[in-house]
Chains A and B, each alone.
Chain A
């Protein structure tokens, strides 16, 4: 308490002092005037206390400069080397001295000797010794040692303090001092040996104990587990066994309840619908889901966000007594979610970007020299280059491109709430229904064929390691190839082994090769039919294979298409071999043809278009080939309702062939058709047998001769195809224009010779066309209303304020140097001033000294003078006295 009081007292004193200090004489304060006052700027030099600072300076000089001056010409100096003798209190001094002591002890003898100078100890033992833990002795041991190690107290008393010679001789004179010493030595040695012996014995014992304990350890740990076992073993009986089996049997969890058939069907339906929606989304990849927007403001975010209509209530916002507003602000979003539209816009942007980059990619190939080459060449190339060698071209599947893009990026799920897509889904459902019926027919057929199963086929197959082996296997089981393939897939399913996936990929490639070989060398009619049946059987298995290893299916199919196109490019006027048709059909089985852009389907579209526009049409084979492609095109584009002019042109061209040419007026038709060609004109009157199918058949693909029967079937199918195309394109605004040519030619075809059913079909189609033409409504194109322009905002005018200081623009080094120079200058000035002040201080001291010494001297002389005067006066008085006496 006293201490604190004391402290308080001192602090209050200090405060008091400070207050006193602050209450300065205003005449002692010097104020530095400022030219500009800057708010918030702190300045150290706004005022100074010249008197105080001068006094400080003088004091400092007295302690430094003056001391030096005093010992200036002295050869001897007194140096006080005591530490902390001046200006330190006791504690500080003590710590400082300790510190220097430590420092001294740390001065190293060798710079390489890092750690040896100081040995750390614990209870007198070095740490390194302790760390060995060799023989930790217990405390009582130490005690014993202490007792035994030292000399006996009696002995010590006798020997050391035994009272000298007197006592010795008094008790037993036989013992001399020398004997005593010898006895002492022997005794101590004996004790040492004893001690050593006991120590060794205990050590031995502990070691023994340790080793025995080690042997025991496993027994101790095991004992817990082992003990009950030998007891229970004999008790096991069947009942227990069964019970335990039942007990430990894997239990089904609640969620794994078996699903009922309806649930399974529902689930399947849901997944199908989900996939279907994804497909639709891919199909309409860059179509806008256009929703009607009534009002669009300039700062709209295009998210269709609209405040609810406030027509029903009054718009004024007011509050009742409880402070509740009369309006509830409700936000509502048109459309189901906000996401689709934004995603769409992103998609669109991406597409647009892609397109842009595409156009950028296309390099400018502008011939600076215009050499009219296109005109010079004879435009009509010789039509008679029929000498086309049949080259057997087998493609290798060795270059199987292992697609790196294994991670098939899943399409992002975006829900479509728009009506359009729902309608599309409904239509698709109808289609599904149709096709299901169709499929059922096929299934019944298949079931019939399956019944005649051959039991001789082995149940397991390994995947052959080369194409030749596969062919061999397939040839062995010629009539059951589909079963072979099916079993092959089942035996090597990827869930059984990791490698199987690659193997099945190989099998996929082999099967493509097999198909290629089946159809490439233009087989005979009956064989062809068989091959097509085989294809139909194999198709589901190829589909399954593709599902298993999709990347591989993708890359190998693309390779095949590429290669076939390269082959075709060499002879662009001639329809390629049949395998192309099979592959194109396979593409439609394996891949969704309705996608806006698909890596495989889009090239196929291009391929078919080129074939239809380039290849010459001169025989039954050519016509059938073209019709096959047109049918495929219809199949490809049925869901997406997309338009390919080449297909319509081809149908129109075929109809043109059916019109008899009168010769007066030339009906023009663009290539590859010829204006004079009339291959398909039916001359004789034909009636149709009821049994005859009007379908086209595979034989048409190989026969060259055109029969009346074929002509009838051609017309029938052309009309039916046109009708389906027409129905598919009904929503297109230029529908009428597109089908104008077809309807014109169709009207010119003389129907008299055709059977009744065909005639009816044609007339029906013509009527439909006419009715639609009269009834259609064309909406004039209207651009989407663009977003209104936002009012122009004026940016605040910013004036640059120039600083008063002018900074030179110079390089960094220069700036640094100039800064340093400035500092040097300033320092030099300061130093000069200090020196000047030192000089004046010194001179002041000198003059003071001088004055002082002068003063002393003056006094001395005065005294001397006075003494002398006194002496003189004394002398004078004496002399005067002498005179008087005389």
Chain B
């Protein structure tokens, strides 16, 4: 009880002290006391709040404002000296707050960022010095410090970056962040934490102006700057040029690809330069290659990229492991897009169909349904593949002519095979799967199956659906069990000694 009360008390005390200081300005010792308390490391959170309150009020009341008249030294009055002292203290405190952003608990770091940004906003609204005719401005130097702290090389600052996105809805902050960013970009190989932070930040930065045109550092009028999209795009290109030259670990490469696909690719001047990078990424495997695949798809679609081995690469991505990854649905979606062209050679498409059918033999139920629909769509698009379903001339064969191990789909001899796998899957235990596999028994429909309905299904969904299935029929086992042993087909007790 007492422990819980204590911090309350301290925060209250600090607040009271702050208010006292604001009432009696001359009482500089109170401020110094608070700063000291902050330095010693205890109750930093409430200290931050108090400091924020003090300096915000000071800035608002223009207690630190010094009129600068050109060619005239500042008069050394007591008041000016006091102001000078206040300003120095303010700068000191700001660096301390930034320091708090670097160390301390995540919660404290977040508070530090928000305090720093609030101070920044107040300083923008009520400048410390007269800046010509402008009433407000963005204190760029301070913003840069904040960004430097965010792009730390020591730790992952994901939470800070998330917090920072709250400020990115303000046009001025967004614009100046873009402007500052090239100067903060490392030229040589930085470490992984930095890259991660950098890419996370980059992911959050948007090139366009915000829709509702809010401005943080001014009250209403935005005369001090105009949001120029060409400048941000230029900055982006400049930054990206550096980023591409860094050395990437798999994690950062993945992040890089995400950023590339989501933010950057549409704004790049020469996107075709990325081709090699994407192709290299394609070879890595796993989610990275899938992301690269998506990038390549955009390149082919928008920028007319022509790359010969793309289908071989795609073919090699169909491995038994895909069913246990999160990007499975995306892979199916993308390959559906890639194979939607009707101008592909039939043996190539047949190889895809056959490989997927093989994978279906070991796939979870929900994926078998996807694969069945997928293969159906392929056959619909390429009527030549009907020989996979209906081949009356060949009769019987000893083995399946299709070679699963062959890397090149064209050489896999799939066109001479038949979809026995689908036939086998008609005996699947699950009625929905079994029905899906029965599409080969009847003439194909005229409209393709809609994959999007089945892509996101999970095993849980299947369970729910089966449970909800309304059926009046109540059927019970008719053979009386003997012990736990059922009438026929008892296997459990053959293997288990319970």
- A375, B330: Cβ atoms under 8 Å? yes
Stretch at the interface among A120-128, A168-176, A595-603: A595-603
Most chain B beta-carbon neighbours within 10 Å: one of A446, A569, A670, A781: A781
A535 contacts B by Cβ under 8 Å: yes
- A643, B424: Cβ atoms under 8 Å? yes
- Which A341-387 residues sit within 8 Å CB-CB of chain B? 351-352, 355, 358-359, 362-366, 371-372, 374-377, 379
B410 contacts A by Cβ under 8 Å: no
Closest CB in chain A relative to B306 CB, distance in Å: 25
Which of B262, B420, B482 is the one whose CB lies under 8 Å from A442? Answer: B482
In the complex with contacts A286-B435, A603-B467, A737-B361, A591-B488 CB distance below 8 A: no
**Residues of the B chain whose Cβ atoms lie less than 8 Å from the Cβ of A614:** 459
Give the CA-CA distance A546 to B75 in the complex, in Å: 101
B312 contacts A by Cβ under 8 Å: no
**Residues of the A chain whose Cβ atoms lie less than 8 Å from the Cβ of B394:** 780
B2 contacts A by Cβ under 8 Å: no
A239 contacts B by Cβ under 8 Å: no
Give the CA-CA distance A774 to B397 in the complex, in Å: 11
B308 contacts A by Cβ under 8 Å: no
**Residues of the A chain whose Cβ atoms lie less than 8 Å from the Cβ of B492:** 585, 588, 628, 631-632, 635
- B483, A536: Cβ atoms under 8 Å? yes
In the complex with contacts A359-B453, A540-B481, A351-B435 CB distance below 8 A: yes
Closest-by-CB residue of B relative to A362 is B453
- A696, B496: Cβ atoms under 8 Å? yes
A769 contacts B by Cβ under 8 Å: no
Closest CB in chain B relative to A675 CB, distance in Å: 10
SS class, residues of chain A in contact with chain B:
helix
A527 contacts B by Cβ under 8 Å: no
- A631, B496: Cβ atoms under 8 Å? yes
In the complex with contacts A374-B329, A670-B324, A778-B400, A591-B395 CB distance below 8 A: no
B460 contacts A by Cβ under 8 Å: yes
**Residues of the A chain whose Cβ atoms lie less than 8 Å from the Cβ of B484:** 535-536, 539, 585, 589
- B491, A591: Cβ atoms under 8 Å? no
B388 contacts A by Cβ under 8 Å: yes
**Residues of the B chain whose Cβ atoms lie less than 8 Å from the Cβ of A279:** 478
**Residues of the B chain whose Cβ atoms lie less than 8 Å from the Cβ of A535:** 484, 498
Binary contact track A399-443/B, C-beta < 8 Å → 1, others 0: 000010101110100000000000000001001101100110011
In the complex with contacts A592-B475, A671-B321, A782-B391, A643-B425 CB distance below 8 A: yes
B189 contacts A by Cβ under 8 Å: no
- A558, B467: Cβ atoms under 8 Å? yes
Give the CA-CA distance A862 to B257 in the complex, in Å: 146
B345 contacts A by Cβ under 8 Å: no
B497 contacts A by Cβ under 8 Å: yes
Give the CA-CA distance A351 to B319 in the complex, in Å: 33
- Which B444-498 residues sit within 8 Å CB-CB of chain A? 450, 452-454, 456, 459-460, 462-463, 465-467, 469, 471-498
A668 contacts B by Cβ under 8 Å: yes
Closest-by-CB residue of B relative to A551 is B474
**Residues of the B chain whose Cβ atoms lie less than 8 Å from the Cβ of A777:** 396-398
- Which A686-719 residues sit within 8 Å CB-CB of chain B? 693, 695-698, 717
Give the CA-CA distance A721 to B496 in the complex, in Å: 12
**Residues of the A chain whose Cβ atoms lie less than 8 Å from the Cβ of B495:** 627, 631, 695-696, 717, 720-721
Binary contact track A742-761/B, C-beta < 8 Å → 1, others 0: 00000000000000000000
- A540, B483: Cβ atoms under 8 Å? yes
In the complex with contacts A282-B475, A375-B330, A603-B466 CB distance below 8 A: yes
- A737, B330: Cβ atoms under 8 Å? no
Binary contact track A157-189/B, C-beta < 8 Å → 1, others 0: 000000000000000000000000000000000
In the complex with contacts A590-B477, A592-B475, A603-B467, A597-B431 CB distance below 8 A: yes
B418 contacts A by Cβ under 8 Å: yes
- A609, B483: Cβ atoms under 8 Å? no
Give the CA-CA distance A736 to B420 in the complex, in Å: 11
In the complex with contacts A442-B482, A613-B459, A670-B323, A776-B398 CB distance below 8 A: yes
Binary contact track B289-324/A, C-beta < 8 Å → 1, others 0: 011000000000000000000000000000111011
- A409, B330: Cβ atoms under 8 Å? no
A556 contacts B by Cβ under 8 Å: no
- B429, A428: Cβ atoms under 8 Å? no
In the complex with contacts A606-B365, A606-B463, A635-B491, A364-B480 CB distance below 8 A: no
Binary contact track B210-245/A, C-beta < 8 Å → 1, others 0: 000000000000000000000000000000000000
- A442, B428: Cβ atoms under 8 Å? no
Most chain A beta-carbon neighbours within 10 Å: one of B358, B399, B459: B459
Binary contact track B362-381/A, C-beta < 8 Å → 1, others 0: 11110010000000000000
Give the CA-CA distance A446 to B424 in the complex, in Å: 42
Give the CA-CA distance A592 to B453 in the complex, in Å: 32
A840 contacts B by Cβ under 8 Å: no
A529 contacts B by Cβ under 8 Å: yes
Binary contact track B270-281/A, C-beta < 8 Å → 1, others 0: 000000000000
A876 contacts B by Cβ under 8 Å: no
B125 contacts A by Cβ under 8 Å: no
In the complex with contacts A607-B463, A643-B427, A638-B491 CB distance below 8 A: yes
A847 contacts B by Cβ under 8 Å: no
**Residues of the A chain whose Cβ atoms lie less than 8 Å from the Cβ of B438:** 286
Closest-by-CB residue of B relative to A607 is B463
Most chain B beta-carbon neighbours within 10 Å: one of A565, A645, A779: A645
- B290, A602: Cβ atoms under 8 Å? no
Most chain A beta-carbon neighbours within 10 Å: one of B394, B438, B456, B466: B466
- B392, A697: Cβ atoms under 8 Å? no
**Residues of the A chain whose Cβ atoms lie less than 8 Å from the Cβ of B392:** 780, 782
**Residues of the A chain whose Cβ atoms lie less than 8 Å from the Cβ of B85:** none
- A668, B321: Cβ atoms under 8 Å? yes
Most chain A beta-carbon neighbours within 10 Å: one of B421, B471, B477: B477
A623 contacts B by Cβ under 8 Å: no
Give the CA-CA distance A602 to B462 in the complex, in Å: 10
**Residues of the B chain whose Cβ atoms lie less than 8 Å from the Cβ of A272:** 478-479
B15 contacts A by Cβ under 8 Å: no
Closest-by-CB residue of A relative to B262 is A372
B409 contacts A by Cβ under 8 Å: no
A553 contacts B by Cβ under 8 Å: yes
- A409, B489: Cβ atoms under 8 Å? no
Give the CA-CA distance A551 to B476 in the complex, in Å: 10
**Residues of the A chain whose Cβ atoms lie less than 8 Å from the Cβ of B491:** 631-632, 634-635, 638, 724
- A536, B420: Cβ atoms under 8 Å? no
Which of B254, B427, B431, B497 is the one whose CB lies under 8 Å from A695? Answer: B497
**Residues of the A chain whose Cβ atoms lie less than 8 Å from the Cβ of B427:** 641-643, 729, 732
**What are 13 inter-chain pairs, A to B, with CB distance below 8 A?**
A275-B478, A365-B453, A403-B474, A407-B472, A409-B472, A409-B473, A535-B498, A591-B476, A602-B430, A627-B495, A634-B491, A737-B400, A781-B440
Further contacts, 5 of them, CB under 8 A, given A286-B435, A375-B330, A561-B467: A364-B453, A409-B473, A438-B494, A599-B469, A735-B424
